[in-house]
Structure 1
Amino acid sequence: MFRILVKFFIFNYFLVRICLADDSVIKIGIPQDVLDDFHLFLADRTPQEVFTYRTKYSSRDVVETVLLFKILELNKNKYQFFTVNSYERAIKLVQSGTIDIYATTVWKNDVNPAKAFFSDEIIRDGEFIAGIYVKEGSELLKKKFNIRTMKFLSNKAWTRDWKTIKNLGPRSLVSTTTWESVLKMINANRAEATLASFPPSRDLVRYNKIVNLVPIPNVKVSISGTRHWIVSRKSQHAQKLKARLDEMVPKFRKKKEFFKAYMQSGFFNERTVPWNVINRKGHL
């Protein structure tokens, strides 16, 4: 009987320790594909050892994750990743307090300000420029550009993308749930085109295991709105995370670290500067 009681107390002691440990770390939401590329991007480095953002694994999502880690200066035992592949679900998990912070920025209008704190603007209004991407080898690359004949694919939860595409007036617009689903449906010819940010590669191709996406040349789209990191108001770390973002984001802005990261990742893309913006900001 004594041994049973000892085992019971030991079990509960370690159970409490585990629960306390889980509560003490910062839970960071991140899509699985971004997490994979984040690890490949870092290789053997820590985020603090990143001084250039030019790698084949670089993208807007990845460099935003690196920037967030630089700002928060988190040690390995101070955080845990929570993979979430749906943009809409990620926002809900932050607002509910299931995760403390999301690794990449989100559109401000998609978030309830009563349930989340916002960082200062990371992507400012007018800075988000996207390409119209189609399957490599698509016949659309050989034809004269006419958006009204194109079948688009996006996600209704990506509200700014959805509204932008709808205003462009394509032949059709279908919704799916995740970026992986977008790739699979385009690969299966169930849709022809989607909006995506430009990569750092010279050919501007978005290489992927599922399907390679190529931009329609000489056209690009402006998506209005601002993007921010968000922190759950229900998080026990909320005040600490908010204070750190409030302190460091202006400093990173002043030393042009955001501009550097976005330029070197291809999101701010020098090669597409002369391309035509086919929509006007006031119409979005």
Structure 2
Amino acid sequence: MDNSSVTIAIQDDIKTQYFEFIAGRNILDVDDYTGLHASRDVVEHALLIKAIRLGGFTLPVKYIQVDHPPRRIKLMQQGLIHLSATPMWLNEIKRYEHKLHISKTVLAAGRAEAGLYTHSANTDVLAVNKPAELMKLVAVSNQNWQHDWKILKQLNFNGLYHTGKYTTMLDMLYKKRADVMLGPFYNSNDLSFTHNGETYLPISNFKVIMPDSRHFPVSRHTAHSQPLIEALDKGLAILQARGEIEKAYRQSGYINDKVAQWQVINQPAKM
């Protein structure tokens, strides 16, 4: 591995959105996490870069496209990449602690919530207003997203399809080959997001509690392993003390007061 930089695994679309969000600014000057491109993944990656810089880690960043958490974990275990662009759920990485450093908590267990998103034209799905009616729906997700997959299986949908690509999930909703997907809430007025000109909305009044904490995993098997985890934890502590992590999650919509009174439809204690 090239020891003159730090290699971060990221999805290509998140990388594009991140640079659109940063818009040429120095990451240390970013303190507002609102806007069209400020999705959860983008904001979490901004927090990562800001944390390592605040912690004194100065090497340049090199990106490599790796979409799925299990693949990122494997590459970190092998020392082929330094870290993931976004945090992972603790239950995804804890068993690999002998090969991965696990950062301080970025988001505590139970703080994260998600909605059941569908295409805006799927009016019958958006009209669902009783939990029992959810069992008639078909969900789509990715088995590599082990946390999401386990929650969706717990909800006993009429069907649960696997597809490896996020864009395929959206296409399935658009074509009504699936009804819903689990997704983070957004900072738009109606909680919607758009992709390729299509709009997606959550079913109102239903939400899922994500019963796990989020942490950045860092490979133990690179030349920069120790200074990187030390800088990351130092920077996260600074951001936490400033209230900036909470602010970022709220401004991105991931922690969202608009859904405070929505009904929780999963049983997080069983996870």
Shift of 1:210: 6.5
Q: 2:72 aligns with which of 90, 96, 116?
A: 90
> Secondary structure of the residue that 1:214 maps to in structure 2?
strand
Give the distance between the partners of 1:283 and 1:109, measured in 2 at CA: 13
Question: Size of the alignment, in residue pairs?
Answer: 263
Distance of aligned partners of 1:86 and 1:180 in 2 relative to their CA distance in 1, 3 Å threshold: farther
Give the distance between the partners of 2:6 and 2:24, measured in 1 at CA: 22
* Code of the aligned partner of 2:160: L
Equivalence map 1:206-225=2 (5 Å) = 206-209=193-196, 211-225=198-212
- Segments of 5+ residues of structure 1 without an aligned counterpart are 1-18
Structure 1 range deviating more: 24-33 or 246-255: 246-255
Q: Which has the larger radius of gyration?
A: 1
Equivalence map 1:181-220=2 (5 Å) = 181-209=168-196, 211-220=198-207
* Code of the aligned partner of 1:134: T
Question: How many percent identity over aligned positions?
Answer: 32
Give the distance between the partners of 1:131 and 1:212, measured in 2 at CA: 15
Structure of greater relative contact order (alpha carbons < 8 Å, 6+ residues apart): 2
Q: 2:243 aligns with which of 256, 262, 273?
A: 256
Deviations 1:201-238 (A, max 9, x none): 11111211164211000110112111111111111110
Give the distance between the partners of 2:149 and 2:244, measured in 1 at CA: 29
Instruction: Tell me whether 1:79 sits opposite 2:79 in the alignment.
Output: no
Task: Answer yes or no: is the 8 Å Cα contact 1:95–1:232 preserved in 2.
Answer: yes
Name segments (4+ residues, structure 1) moved above 6 Å: none
* Code of the aligned partner of 1:141: L
> Secondary structure of the residue that 1:39 maps to in structure 2?
helix
* Code of the aligned partner of 2:11: P
* Code of the aligned partner of 1:140: V
Q: 1:35 aligns with which of 1, 6, 15?
A: 15
> Secondary structure of the residue that 1:149 maps to in structure 2?
coil
Task: Answer yes or no: is the 8 Å Cα contact 1:122–1:227 preserved in 2.
Answer: yes
Shift of 1:124: 0.9
Instruction: Tell me whether 1:159 sits opposite 2:176 in the alignment.
Output: no
> Secondary structure of the residue that 2:31 maps to in structure 1?
coil
- Segments of 5+ residues of structure 2 without an aligned counterpart are none
Q: 2:111 aligns with which of 127, 148, 153?
A: 127
> Secondary structure of the residue that 1:212 maps to in structure 2?
strand
Partner residue in 1 for 2:161: 174
Shift of 1:264: 0.5
Instruction: Tell me whether 1:99 sits opposite 2:86 in the alignment.
Output: no
> Secondary structure of the residue that 1:64 maps to in structure 2?
helix
Which structure: greater helix fraction? 1
Distance of aligned partners of 1:251 and 1:177 in 2 relative to their CA distance in 1, 3 Å threshold: same
Equivalence map 1:130-145=2 (5 Å) = 130-138=114-122, 139-145=124-130
Compute the TM-score of the two structures, normalised by the length of structure 2.
0.92
Shift of 1:175: 1.3
Give the distance between the partners of 1:143 and 1:223, measured in 2 at CA: 22
Instruction: Tell me whether 1:110 sits opposite 2:92 in the alignment.
Output: yes
